């Protein structure tokens, strides 16, 4: 069997960093500190348990305490030695693209070459708060990606577009420690998957059913094949909510609560549709996505392992990003231990392809 077909599943933590807001008001200062302190202990334990790495999310104006995930990468990098660290992904339309590259090159050195690079267009309802509509957001995202992709190859960049114009801009530090840091893009449509293939970017998705994700990944694989690029399991990742317990009923109740929390997070997102389409959407910007029960994996360690491996095999994904509870949930450490000690070893042995 070719090496590409014998990929084993790589287990990651996906970190949302959500803090409880008493009475839906502002979080208490002590709560914020507790979330960060608990997060560091959690990530150090994840390294001990053998996780591949951590992807931090970026969100603004809500309950997330990760508006600047690159700071978290810089901080935890000095206390870990093996974990891969990245953002899934930096919300590109919010920043000057040259600034993103400068931070990423710094982070690659600070992590001693353990950086994963992730880009995202952002959540519409968050961007609308600062006056960015979906059309302008997509324009900025696409133009910035041209600059970012060029700067990942050559630290001296020139560009003339609608939003940015500069010539022979020297970006510092100017060189990555890794010859080619892995590049990721978050996608929710076949159009975004196709464009990511053209940019030679790996892709990650969630929310949707297994069958819908398979459709998205099939488009990515087809485009890579057309371009003569690798499109095996190592280029693909799925992100899922995990509720795990010795008591399967308890896990299912936690999954229900996780779904309710997700519905609050995506409330007002114009991309969310009530029903998933079984046919491929046209490769266009703004294609919608749906929330599906497949996004919530729940049960005992054995049941969770079976579901995780099954979803990875059906979609052909070689990377699995696990969301393990709220940031300071009393059971979060227990969930990490159960997943790390009993599910992770089975994932590390499970072949994709």
What does the pLDDT read at residue 141? 97
Tell me the C-alpha distance between 157 and 220, whole Å. 28
3-state secondary structure of 332: helix
pLDDT at 273 over 80: no
Tell me the C-alpha distance between 295 and 321, whole Å. 11
pLDDT tens digits, residue range 159-187?
999 999 999 999 999 899 999 999 999 99
What does the pLDDT read at residue 260? 86
276: confidence class by pLDDT, cuts 50, 70, 90? very low
285: confidence class by pLDDT, cuts 50, 70, 90? very low
Tell me the C-alpha distance between 6 and 232, whole Å. 10
What does the pLDDT read at residue 332? 92
What does the pLDDT read at residue 281? 46
- The pTM of this model reads 0.92
pLDDT tens digits, residue range 42-98?
999 999 999 999 999 999 988 789 999 999 999 999 999 999 999 999 999 999 999
Beta strands at 10-15 and 351-352: parallel, antiparallel or unpaired: unpaired
Beta strands at 319-323 and 351-352: parallel, antiparallel or unpaired: unpaired
Domain ranges of the chain: 3-352
pLDDT tens digits, residue range 28-43?
667 888 889 999 999 9
What does the pLDDT read at residue 314? 98
Beta strands at 115-120 and 90-91: parallel, antiparallel or unpaired: parallel
274: confidence class by pLDDT, cuts 50, 70, 90? low
pLDDT at 7 over 90: no
Tell me the C-alpha distance between 40 and 34, whole Å. 10
2: confidence class by pLDDT, cuts 50, 70, 90? very low
Terminal-residue alpha carbon distance, the chain: 9
What does the pLDDT read at residue 219? 97
Distances (CA, A) of 340 to 83, 143, 146, 170, 195: 14, 40, 38, 43, 34
- Fold for the domain defined by 3-352: TIM Barrel (3.20.20)
**CA dihedral sign, ordered 14, 19, 23, 26:** negative
271: confidence class by pLDDT, cuts 50, 70, 90? confident
């Amino acid at each position: 069997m070719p090496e590409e077909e014998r990929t084993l599943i790589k287990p990651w933590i996906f970190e949302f960093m959500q803090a409880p807001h008493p009475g839906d008001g502002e979080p208490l200062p002590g709560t914020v500190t507790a979330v960060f302190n608990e997060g560091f202990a959690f990530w150090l334990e994840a390294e001990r348990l053998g996780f591949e790495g951590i992807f931090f999310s970026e969100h603004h104006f809500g309950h997330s305490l990760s508006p600047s995930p690159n700071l978290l990468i810089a901080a935890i990098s000095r206390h870990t030695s093996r974990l891969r660290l990245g953002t899934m992904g930096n919300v590109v339309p919010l920043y000057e693209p040259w600034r993103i590259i400068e931070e990423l090159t710094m982070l690659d050195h600070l992590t001693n070459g353990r950086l994963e690079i992730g880009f995202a267009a952002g959540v519409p309802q968050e961007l609308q708060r600062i006056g960015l509509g979906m059309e302008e957001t997509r324009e900025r995202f696409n133009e910035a990606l041209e600059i970012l992709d060029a700067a990942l190859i050559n630290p001296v960049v020139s560009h003339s577009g609608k939003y940015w114009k500069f010539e022979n801009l020297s970006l510092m530090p100017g060189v990555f420690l890794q010859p080619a840091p892995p590049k990721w893009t978050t996608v929710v449509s076949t159009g975004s998957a196709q464009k990511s293939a053209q940019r030679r970017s790996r892709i990650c998705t969630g929310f949707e059913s297994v069958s819908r994700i398979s459709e998205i990944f099939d488009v990515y694989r087809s485009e890579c094949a057309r371009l003569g690029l690798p499109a095996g399991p190592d280029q693909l990742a799925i992100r899922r909510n995990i509720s795990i317990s010795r008591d399967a009923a308890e896990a299912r109740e936690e999954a229900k609560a996780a779904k309710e929390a997700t519905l609050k997070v995506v409330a007002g997102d114009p991309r969310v549709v009530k029903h998933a389409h079984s046919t491929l959407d046209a490769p266009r910007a703004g294609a919608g996505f749906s929330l599906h029960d497949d996004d919530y994996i729940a049960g005992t360690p054995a049941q969770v392992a079976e579901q995780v491996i099954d979803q990875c095999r059906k979609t052909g994904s070689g990377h699995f990003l696990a969301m393990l509870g709220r940031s300071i949930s009393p059971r979060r450490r227990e969930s990490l231990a159960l997943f790390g000690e009993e599910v992770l070893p089975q994932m590390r042995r499970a072949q994709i392809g």
